[in-house]
Structure 1
C-alpha cells in the first residue's frame, strides 16, 4: 500500500511538472510584470490577443455590463497547495483546497471567501497559470467568478461599502487548504481598480408610499406604520440597491396595509414565483387527505407505483412515504444544491418524463431510516403525480374547485410537466394579492369566509419547524414550507414561509397578525429579502 501511494505521488508530481513545462510558452508571451497580478478587463479576450491596452484602471459600476478578471500565476494552484502540505498527493490537495479571495474597499477588508473545492476543474487547477473569470456578465456566464462577485456584493458588504462616488477596490488571492483547520499561503496574485458608483436619480414623488387603488378585494387597513421607512425602502429599490423587486404586499389583521409595485409590475401581473408553487402541492395533499382520496401522509410509494419497473430499485425505496417527500427526507440521491447529484433538478428538465426521472434515481448511500434533509425538486413531481392519479378529474381541476375558487382566485397560470400535468415543482403564476389570500388562508388556520377549506391540523403540521436544516442553527422545514425567526429590537418573531428562486416569498407570522408577499425576478442571484424584512418592512409595520 505504501508503495502504491508513493507511486501515485510520483505520478502526480511528474504530471504537474510536465504541465508547468507545457505552459512555459504561454507565460513567455506575457510580460514578466504581470506574473502575480490581477487585471480587470471588459471583454473576453483570448490570451494570445491580450495586451496592456485592454486593462481597465476604472469602471462605472452602474453602467457596467461586463467585467472580467484575468490573473497570472507563476505556477498552477496545486503547486502552491503542495507548499502548504508536502505529504498529500495532488488529487487530495485539490479535494481539500482552492483559492482564497480577499476584497478590500478603500483599503479596508470587506469580504474574504475560501472558494468551494468544487469551484474550477481539476485540470484547470493542476495546469493553468492564466485565469479569466467573469465578475459581471451580460450573458450570465456560468462561472464561479460571477457567483463570487454576487456574494461579495449582496452578502459580503460590497454594496454597503461601494456607496455613491469613487472607491478603490483591491483583491488579493491566496491558496488555502482545509486539513481540517484552514491553512492559508502567501499572496499569489493581487490587483486594484477604481470603482465609480453612480446611483439612478430619484425624486421625492417617486419614493412616496404608493396609494392603494380601489377594487383590491381586501378591506383597506387603517393601521399606522412608519412611512419614512417605506420611503427609504422604495428609494433603495428604485436606485437598484435592492434589485429586481416587483411587488410588496402587506396584510395586517386580515386587511390590506401596503401594496406596492416596481420594475413594470402592477396589480394584474402574474408573477413567476418558481418554487413557491411547491407549497401548493402540500396544500392540495392536505385537502385530498381530508376528502379521503388519499389515506394519509404515511402512505408509502409502493401503494402508488410498481417500483421494480423503475431503475435503481431497492427495498428501501418501497418505504418512502408521502411525508418523507413533503419534508424533503426521501433518502433518494437527489440534491439540487449539488450539481454532481444525479437527481439534481437541472438533470430532470431536459428529460421527456419527469416522474420517470424522479423514481429512477438511486437511494443515497448515506440513506438510513432517519433520512437526512436534501432539497429534491423531483420529489414534488412524484407528489403531483400521486394527486393527479387519486383526485377526481385530475390535479388541475381539483385545485380550482377545492382551493382557488373558494379563495376567489380566478386569474392564474400553471406550468406543466412533459405529461401535461400541472407542475407542482414550481412556476404557478398569480397576482400578488392572490398570493396574499393563500398566505392568509394559512394564517386563518385553513379558514376562508368562514369555510374550513384546509384542515387546521394540516396547517399547523405544515408550518411547524419539524426538521432543522443543515448548516444552519435556527432554520427549519415543515411540509414544503420553511420556518425561521426574525429578530427586531431584540424580540424574535417566528415565521413560516413559501420560497422561490429570484427572491419570491410568502411570509406567515405565527405571533404577529401579518402576511407579507414579496415578488422578484432576481433568478439565480443572491436575494436581499432578509435585509428588506429586517431593516425596513418589519421595523416599519410592527407596533
Structure 2
C-alpha cells in the first residue's frame, strides 16, 4: 500500500498520532513530535469498547451471565420501580445503548454532565425515567456504560481496572495508563482512560486476531464477533450501526461513474472504537488492517476532515 502521500494529506489536520498496520506489521507511523509515543493521553469514549472486551471476557468465564439477563439481577431496586419496563432492561440493552432511559448525553437534558455532578452516578442513571421501551432505539449514553462497569465490579469482586489488568492489559503488556472513577470508586465505563497510541493499537490488534494474543485466547472468538456485529442503527447525528459498545460501518467508493454503473462499487466493512475529539481505533477484518488516530485539540481548533474516511480508507480500497 502506498502511504507516501498520507503525511502531506494529514499535515493540515495536525493529528497527534496516526498508526496503521496490516496483519501485525506496522505500515505507517506518524507522531506530531517525538515525545508523543511515550505520553499517555485521553482516549475518551474508546474506553467504552475496552469495557465491552471486559464484559465479554467476564461472560466467557461465567462471571457475568449471558447478555439476555435482566440488570435487575444486579440492581434489585428496579423490581420496585413504578415503571415495570425497567425490569425488562437486559445487559445487552446496556451494551447496545437501547435501555430506553430518557437521556441526552450533551445538549438537551445534558444528562452526562448532570450525572458527573451527582453524588452517586449509579443511582442517578437508574432513577432516570424511560422514554421508550427497552430495545427500541439506540440513545448514546455514558450512563449505561457506568452501569456495566458497576455490574463487572459486583460480579467479579474486583475493580474494573484490576480486572482489565489481569485479563487484558497484563497479557498485552499495557502498563502505563490511568483510569478515572466515580465517587463510589467504580471506574468510569464510558470515558476516563488515558493510554499511549501504541497500546490503543495493541487493543485493536487483539480484536483483529479475534481475541487471541500469543498462545492465549483472551476473548472467545465467538463472543468477540458477536460484540462487533451490527445490532441497531446508530442514533442521529451518528451514522452506521452499533454493536456492543462498538461502532460499525461500510466504506464504499462512490463516484458519478460508479453510480451510473450497475456493478457493485468497491467496499469494505469495518468496526471502530470512537472517542471525543478524534480518538479512534479502526479494525478492517477483510484487509487485516488496524488503524489508530489520536488528537488533542479543542472542537473549534480541529480540522473538519475525517482522517480515516477522507484519507486512509481510499488508500485501503485501492489496495
Relative to 1, partners in 2 of residues 1:527 and 1:499: Cα closer, same or farther, differing over 3 Å? farther
Residue 275 of structure 1 is matched in structure 2 by 45
Match of 2:3 among 215, 223, 226: 226
Q: What's 2:74 paired with?
A: 304
Q: Does structure 2 retain, via aligned residues, the 8 Å contact 1:246–1:264?
A: no
Give the whole-Å Cα distance in 1 for the aligned partners of 2:211 and 2:304.
Answer: 26
Match of 2:185 in 1: 420
TM-score calculated relative to the size of structure 2: 0.89
Please give the residue correspondences for 1:8-19 in structure 2 after superposition, counting only pairs within 5 Å. none
Deviation at 1:539, TM superposition (A): 3.5
CA RMSD, 1 decimal: 2.3
Q: Aligned in 2, Cα 1:484/1:522: closer, same or farther, shift over 3 Å?
A: farther
Aligned partners of 1:234, 1:401: CA distance in 2, in Å?
A: 37
TM-score (norm 1): 0.54
Equivalent residue, structure 2, for 1:384: 149
3-state DSSP class of the match of 2:175? coil
The alignment partner of 1:421 has SS state of coil
Listed as ranges, the matches of 1:33-432 within 5 Å are 224-227=1-4, 229-236=5-12, 242-243=13-14, 245-262=15-32, 265-307=35-77, 313-337=82-106, 339-341=107-109, 344-364=111-131, 367-368=132-133, 370-432=135-197
Unaligned runs of 5+ in 1: 1-223, 237-241
How many Å separate the matches in 2 of 1:482 and 1:425?
A: 14
Superimposed CA distance per residue, residues 301-332 of structure 1 (whole angstroms, 9 cap, x where no aligned partner)? 2101122598x642111111010010010011
| SS of 1:517 mapped into structure 2 | strand
Specify whether residues 472 and 526 from structure 1 end up closer, same or farther in structure 2 by C-alpha distance, changes over 3 A only: farther
CA distance in 1, matches of 2:78, 2:248: 36
The 1:523–1:386 alpha-carbon spacing in structure 2 relative to 1, beyond 3 Å, is farther
- Deviation (angstroms), 1:230: 1.9
4+ runs deviating over 6 angstroms? none
Q: What count of residue pairs does the alignment treat as equivalent?
A: 308
Greater RCO between the two (CA within 8 Å, min separation 6)?
2
Structure 2: runs of 5+ lacking an equivalent: 255-264
Alpha-carbon distance in structure 2 between the residues aligned to 1:511 and 1:451: 23
Q: Does residue 1:469 correspond to 2:245, yes or no?
A: no
8 Å Cα contact 1:328-1:374 kept in structure 2: yes
Which SS does the other structure have where 2:224 is aligned? Answer: helix
Match of 1:460 in 2: 225
Instruction: Give distance in 2, aligned partners of 1:473 and 1:348.
Output: 22
**Residues 64-114 of structure 1, C-alpha deviation per residue, up to 9 Å, x if partnerless?**
xxxxxxxxxxxxxxxxxxxxxxxxxxxxxxxxxxxxxxxxxxxxxxxxxxx
Q: Give distance in 2, aligned partners of 1:516 and 1:470.
A: 24
Is the partner of 1:511 in helix, strand or coil?
A: helix
Provide, for residues 148-185 of structure 1, a one-character-per-residue CA deviation record: whole Å limited to 9, x for no partner.
xxxxxxxxxxxxxxxxxxxxxxxxxxxxxxxxxxxxxx
Deviation at 1:456, TM superposition (A): 0.8
